[in-house]
Amino acid sequence: MAAHARLRQLQDLPSPSGLPLIGNALQLQPSTLHTTLEQWARKLGSPYRYRVGNTHVIVWTQAELCQSVLRERPHLYRRIAPIESVLGEIGINGLFSAEGAAWEPQRRLIMQALSISNIKAFYPTLAGITERFRQRLQRAAAQGKSLEMTDELKRYTVDVTSSLAFGEDPNTLEQEGGVIQERLALILPAVMRRVSAPFPYWRYVRLPSDRKLDRAMIDVHRFVHDMIGRARERMRDAPGDAPRNLLEAMLVARDTPGSGVTDAQVAANVLTLLIAGEDTTANTIAWSLMYIAADPALQQRLGDASRTAFGGQRVCPDYGRLKQLDLCEAASNEASRLRPVAVILGFEPLEDVCLDGIAVPAGTWVFFLTRPPMLEPANFAHPERFDPDRWMHLHDPSRGAHEQRAYLTFGGGPRVCPGRYLATVEIRLVLSMIAANFDISMAIDPATITEISAFTMVPSRMPMHLKPRA
């Protein structure tokens, strides 16, 4: 009783001023949520609290506390409940949002499919898609066209994810319109709006954006249904063969008595992988290119290292030579430190807990902001500086602080991102291919690019000029 009395309560935490009943709802827009929360953190400190209607949210910026919560998933913490319900309504309640026992059989299948050994075996196909991407960029460069790089990168990542996980290449890189990526791109911004809404308005009134999503989801679910049908046909044509990709493995599990895998879970995980593989990696590379374009010396270093690794080829020719491209991953790590795609991690405890001396009732939303700790001088020396070399000299004490535990790009704990190996391979491949073959520059002033919360943190625009290298 005495120990409990010493705990701080929610009402003891600082809070931005709000209004009766609705709290801080009018001060929060989904597209700028992360910047608003970061501004409040700078003003109020960490932790602080805010309220939207009856929903109470505590916001922290301490990376070590976030790591401890990640380690306690899924038995003590879950993602905030609206994520599962919103994704479930549109048929995407797969591994990302599944909670409790439902996520375990799904995770085993996906972790195996995205393992290092599988990605290594897939490398020739991955390199072929990267070469196709190079040719698309080459054509645009020859015509003097600027390219919206985020859209171009999403085409690439959709082709990669679909080929690896589902055994089908949609080849969006060689199409100009009507590609599935255009429908997928509508999903996460819609999810962000609905998760952030004070109440589920879309169940009663369909706004134009909701109707647009409805139309897109019809096409997306048809795409997934047809893909599953073709996979079953291939399996019927080769009975007894081992599964050749994740989709076939999920279908085998679905057909195994007592597996606990349902048709809906198979379809949901197809969509989850398409969206996650498309969005997070593409935006990470796009932010990286923005910083690389602003640094001619870094471009030269990246180009030299890439051409040396390629041995006269246009794309890294084999998996083993990726090890020579550490600078590409270092540039991406540094861009992610300054522009993290996963800028807010949100959870809620399944029971009453004590966090950092604060009594947190079950169901309270707990948000962790991932960027503030990466901008702390105690964690990273000269944190305001874009310096990829800090990742090349991790054990050099003369370079100052470098606290990797404060770097939360792929999460942590039992539910660490299963696609991290594939993402790092794609990052090395794409950045090295571009650096080896092109000089890049921004088509607009980078200062005019804004950050948008669309479930992940994305750039408003990323138009670039590419000039072929001799």
**Unique residue bearing structure tokens 């498309």:** 278
Encoding tokens for residue 297? Answer: 């010396």
Backbone angles phi, psi at 464, to 5 degrees: -135, 150
173 or 354: which leads in pLDDT: 354
Q: Report the pLDDT value the prediction gives residue 104, as an integer from 0 to 100.
A: 79
Q: What is the pTM of this model?
A: 0.92
316 is known to lie in a ligand binding site: no
- DSSP assignment string, 356-381: TTEEE-TT-EEEEESHHHHT-TTTBS
Lowest mean pLDDT among 15-29, 54-68, 102-116, 366-380: 102-116
Is the separation of the CB atoms in 286 and 153 below 8 Å? Answer: yes
**pLDDT class of 5 with cuts at 50, 70, 90:** low
pLDDT of 4 > 60? The answer is no
Backbone angles phi, psi at 316, to 5 degrees: -50, 115
CA–CA distance, 465 with 441 (Å, rounded to integer): 5
pLDDT of 44 > 90? The answer is yes
Is the separation of the CB atoms in 257 and 319 below 8 Å? Answer: no
Residue 300, CA distances (Å) to 297, 336, 470 in order = 5, 21, 13
pLDDT of 32 > 80? The answer is yes
pLDDT of 3 > 60? The answer is no
Burial 229-268 (b: 16+ CB within 10 A, else e): eebeebbeeeeeeebebbbbbbbebbeeeeeebeeebbbb
Name the average pLDDT for the chain: 92
- On the question of a cis peptide bond just before residue 47, with omega within 30 degrees of 0, the verdict is yes
* E strand or H helix at 126: helix 116-142
pLDDT of 188 > 80? The answer is yes
Backbone angles phi, psi at 147, to 5 degrees: -120, 140
Percent of the chain with pLDDT over 70: 98
Q: Which amino acid is at 191?
A: V
- DSSP assignment string, 394-440: TT-GGG--B-GGG--TT--GGG--TTHHHHHHHHHHHHHHHHHHEEE
Per-residue pLDDT tens for 427-447?
999 999 999 999 999 999 999
Q: Which amino acid is at 406?
A: A
Mean pLDDT, residues 200-204: 94
Strand order in the sheet with 55-60: 48-52, 55-60, 365-369, 344-349, 77-79
CA–CA distance, 453 with 342 (Å, rounded to integer): 10
Encoding tokens for residue 204? Answer: 């009663």
Per-residue pLDDT tens for 285-306?
999 999 999 999 999 999 999 9
Contacts of 105 (CB under 8 A, 6+ apart): 253, 259, 260, 261
pLDDT of 124 > 50? The answer is yes
Spell out the domains of the chain, with CATH numbers in brackets: 2-468 (1.10.630.10)
**∠100-33-287 over CA atoms, to 5°?**
90
CA–CA distance, 120 with 261 (Å, rounded to integer): 27
pLDDT of 411 > 50? The answer is yes
Longest dimension (CA), the chain: 74
